[in-house]
Structure 1
Amino acid sequence: MSSNKKELRAELLGAILALAAFVAPVQAQDATNIAFIQTSTTATSIPVGHLKFCKSRPEECRANVNPVATVPLDDQRWQQLLNVNAYINQTVTPVTDQDLYQVSEFWTYPNGYGDCEDYALAKRRELINAGWPASTLLMTVVKQANGEGHAVLLVRTDRGDLVLDNQVGSVDLWSQTPYQFIKRQSQANAGQWVDMMDDRNITITAAIK
């Protein structure tokens, strides 16, 4: 075995052990556990980009039959998350919707190029194709430290809510990210969204030019 492969396996094992040490499997319904971000019980407004996406792809925005609350996170699934996150981040070139489509907001699958929501959509599709329940793979809108909006993929596992992000190579618990979480897709219906209850003290500052 090459030294590079040994190092890669060691890194993956270290990441798995670190995640396992941080939070043991718990029930997603435990509102007191920081590993899971809580949401409202009623629907909220749908991002304009996702609303248009659903109109063009209604089959991807339907109610989930028997939605799964969380997926058990074993070594194989953890490696799938790492691989999908890395693959999409490496194969898609970041370009704004304005530069690519001449509109301010356009959600779609990347064609080699795309912005944050396109990365997240591609990761969601890859994981669904790999057998993950759609109800555990949620498009999510957050606010960055500079006050700008951003989209990530939130993955609901029995170890907590994990974030796949095009701006970082790691897969982290939502509470370990620098974002303010605003809203996400409903687990019951991929065409509906719910508000997120992020009451952490995060300082939102103006962007430094």
Structure 2
Amino acid sequence: MSMVKFSFSVCLIVAAAWLPKFANASSGTSLAHLHAGESSQAPIGWTQFCRDNATDCRIPRSAESIKRLDERSWRELLAVNLQFNQAIAPVTDQEQYGVVENWTYATTGKGDCEDYVLEKRRDLIRRGWPMSALLATVVIDKEGGGHAVLTVVTDRGEFILDNQTDDVLPWSRSGLTFIRRQSAEDQNVWRFLGRVVGRPEVLTATAASKR
């Protein structure tokens, strides 16, 4: 996979210029931030992950907080996304474990979308990012399939870490349909997102360019 090159300052300037021109995707949702609605049942895979990794799921969340995004933290996001996209070989749970769904860390060096999410989330927490800003998110991908990504909530908007691309894009440019995700206040509470679609044609000037 290719390295990602992205101008942090240009991204923010262009995004700011475009934001007022588009209506909110749904009540409370803007091009910067998604709106989490009513409570949803946690995915079966998350419940299973918590049975297998009880300590990780007992980590308490404090009051909701977001990450301040500057050039240093932006580069960290790019690096973490790229690192695990390259390090983990994509394979289905059925192929690897003989079951349809098994959320786990990619200790074998292989995994599916949820395993990428869990590894990226764990690594960013180790680097000092607040857990409340790192939300496992269930989506429908561009091909219409079920998928999972990591949503990173910052003071500059919400960005998506996705094993299907090395680019780190605003949610509104991801091309994904957002279904539900963890609550910022409690990682074991999940909330509906209302099937909001991130349109790839929006904010095209903020897309990462590749070498």
How high is the TM-score relative to the length of structure 1?
Answer: 0.82
Per-residue displacement from partner, 1:21-45 (whole Å, max 9, x unpaired)? 2345x9xxx93631101111x3211
Is 55-64 or 118-127 further displaced after alignment? Answer: 55-64
Quick check: which has more Rg, 1 or 2? Answer: 1
1:154-169 matches, cutoff 5 A = 154-169=151-166
Q: Look up the SS of the partner of 1:132 in the other structure.
A: coil
Contact 2:172 2:198 in 1 (8 A): no
* CA apart distance, 1:95: 0.6
Residue identity matched to 2:53: R
Q: Look up the SS of the partner of 1:61 in the other structure.
A: helix
Provide the rounded CA distance (Å) in 2 between the counterparts of 1:70 and 1:184. Answer: 16
* CA apart distance, 1:18: 3.1
Counterpart check, 1:71 vs 2:67: yes
* CA apart distance, 1:201: 8.3
State the partner residue of 1:4: none
Gaps of 5+ in 2: 20-26, 200-211
How many residues matched? 187
Counterpart check, 1:106 vs 2:102: yes
Contact 2:176 2:197 in 1 (8 A): no
Contact 2:138 2:148 in 1 (8 A): yes
* CA apart distance, 1:110: 0.4
- Alpha carbons of 1:32 and 1:106: their partners in 2 closer, same or farther (altered >3 Å)? closer
**Match for 2:93 among 91, 97, 103?**
97
State the partner residue of 1:196: 193
Gaps of 5+ in 1: 1-7, 203-209
* CA apart distance, 1:19: 2.1
**Match for 2:8 among 16, 33, 43?**
16
Counterpart check, 1:56 vs 2:52: yes
- Alpha carbons of 1:89 and 1:130: their partners in 2 closer, same or farther (altered >3 Å)? same
Residue identity matched to 1:69: S
How high is the TM-score relative to the length of structure 2?
Answer: 0.81
Provide the rounded CA distance (Å) in 1 between the counterparts of 2:74 and 2:90. Answer: 25
Contact 2:61 2:131 in 1 (8 A): no
Provide the rounded CA distance (Å) in 1 between the counterparts of 2:120 and 2:95. Answer: 22
* CA apart distance, 1:145: 2.9
Task: Among all aligned residue pairs of Structure 1 and Structure 2, give the percentage whose two residues are the same amino acid.
Answer: 40
Q: Look up the SS of the partner of 2:7 in the other structure.
A: helix
Provide the rounded CA distance (Å) in 2 between the counterparts of 1:201 and 1:162. Answer: 11
Counterpart check, 1:33 vs 2:25: no
Provide the rounded CA distance (Å) in 2 between the counterparts of 1:167 and 1:157. Answer: 22
**Match for 2:119 among 100, 119, 122?**
122
